[in-house]
Structure 1
Amino acid sequence: MFLLTDRDDVWLKLIDPSDAQAIFSCIDRSRDHLRAWLPFVDGTKSVDDTLSFIKSVQEQYGRNDGIQTGIWTKDGLQGIIGFHAVDWVNRKTSLGYWLSADAVGNGYMTAACRALTTFAFDYYQLNRVEVRAAEDNHASRAIPQRLGFREEGILHEVEWLYDHFVDHVVYAMMAGDWAPERRQGSTVVANR
């Protein structure tokens, strides 16, 4: 399954084992960049570690608990975006994402977040999508801000990042607030 974004040069594809080398290479070439904000980087030492991650996200998909997708361009894999989990009772989810260092600043993540937010509301029929970002991670925080998510507050010392705690800023979008101008034609489920 592919999710088409509002851009012709960026698309999302469900992660599968054939993506293991591309994902590992993307992480490996961006270790310092990713390690500043993501706790999984040091534990990703080989393609086998990436295959374990892929197995877990395939199980997540099999449980109907969300999706994890690669962010692709003509130059290959640029990063990952997906749902941490889906709370079907309360009709909500949260987005998690990362982008390789050499892909930052091209608008890929904004297009990907717009596509998955639209997917959450239109396909899953959820009511709430959250994004949580480290308070000092201004690049990550800019994505939900750019898309019109509402800042709801700060969770103090909520994540252990190698040797210290970090605070997270919580952003949320409700289905009723996801207006057509925010969608910009994103998220068509298709085979490519």
Structure 2
Amino acid sequence: MTTTAPFPTLETPRLLLREITADDAPALLAIHGDAEHMKWFGTEPLTELAQAQTLVETFAGWRRQANPGTRWGLVRRAAPEAGLIGSCGLFAWNRSWRKCTLGYELAPQACGQGLMLEALQAVLAWGHESMQLHRIEAQVHEDNRASRALLARLGFAEEGRLREVAWWGGRPHDLLMLARLAGDAGAGAR
């Protein structure tokens, strides 16, 4: 994966997973600025458009790093002009260890429809195939029941607790470590 390679656009039955652009900053602000909905994301809520623009640049920068990643913007195939409804991605790629980390978020109005399950099935398959990943990790707050259930459906196994590994909202948080190995990939078809 290099900056000269074209962005890996993916399609699912209902979604187009595409590159996040500067035009997506207002949608990212709406999603990441919703403090209640994003309470488990691991960062402080965004409050200004400039912060969302920086987030767009951060995601684009992942593809230029020594341990790169890819972040996809999610839009509905039936109405791409309606804009971004979330994002997901693989980052912190350790090529020699054949592993990386998974992250994702969805706009509140898009939750509960199986859209992130659909998106992540495509992303995980792409990661195992195109990045040759053996292990994909996810760190989740134990109170984030929806995310834990989603990861379980995708074949992730809970491996333990990372004590006070994250800091947001003015205090430290424990996170659960979950992982999916290439051999576990069939579990995500449920």
TM-score (norm 1): 0.84
1:109 aligns with 2:113: no
In structure 2, the CA distance between the partners of 1:41 and 1:101, relative to structure 1 (3 Å rule), is farther
> 55, 58, 61: which one pairs with 2:57?
55
Is the 8 Å Cα contact of residues 4 and 11 (structure 1) preserved in structure 2? Answer: yes
Is the 8 Å Cα contact of residues 12 and 112 (structure 1) preserved in structure 2? Answer: yes
1:23 aligns with 2:25: no
Structure 2 Cα separation of the partners of residues 162 and 41 of structure 1: 7
Match of 2:48 in 1: 46
In structure 2, the CA distance between the partners of 1:114 and 1:86, relative to structure 1 (3 Å rule), is same
Match of 1:33 in 2: 37
Match of 1:182 in 2: 188
Structure 2 Cα separation of the partners of residues 57 and 122 of structure 1: 21
Query: Which letter does structure 2 place at the counterpart of 1:125?
Result: Q
Question: Post-superposition shift, 1:40?
Answer: 2.9
Question: Post-superposition shift, 1:81?
Answer: 0.8
Gaps of 5+ in 1: 185-192
> 84, 89, 107: which one pairs with 1:77?
84
Match of 1:152 in 2: 159
Structure 2 Cα separation of the partners of residues 61 and 47 of structure 1: 23
- Write the mapping of 1:165-176 to structure 2, written as runs, cut at 5 A: 165-176=172-183
> 81, 84, 102: which one pairs with 1:95?
102
Kindly provide the CA deviation profile for residues 36-78 of structure 1, in whole angstroms up to 9, marking residues without a partner as x: 2134343x22222111111122121123601011121134321
Coordinate RMSD, CA, aligned:
1.9
Match of 1:187 in 2: none
Structure 1 Cα separation of the partners of residues 61 and 101 of structure 2: 18
Query: Which letter does structure 2 place at the counterpart of 1:26?
Result: I
Q: Which deviates further from its counterpart, 47-56 or 117-126? A: 47-56
Query: Which letter does structure 2 place at the counterpart of 1:49?
Result: Q
Identity over aligned pairs, percent: 31
Structure 2 Cα separation of the partners of residues 126 and 183 of structure 1: 18
Match of 2:127 in 1: 120
Is the 8 Å Cα contact of residues 115 and 183 (structure 1) preserved in structure 2? Answer: no
Question: Post-superposition shift, 1:183?
Answer: 5.2
Is the 8 Å Cα contact of residues 164 and 174 (structure 2) preserved in structure 1? Answer: yes
Structure 2 Cα separation of the partners of residues 116 and 55 of structure 1: 21
Question: Post-superposition shift, 1:83?
Answer: 1.8
Aligned residue-pair number: 178
Query: Which letter does structure 2 place at the counterpart of 1:135?
Result: E
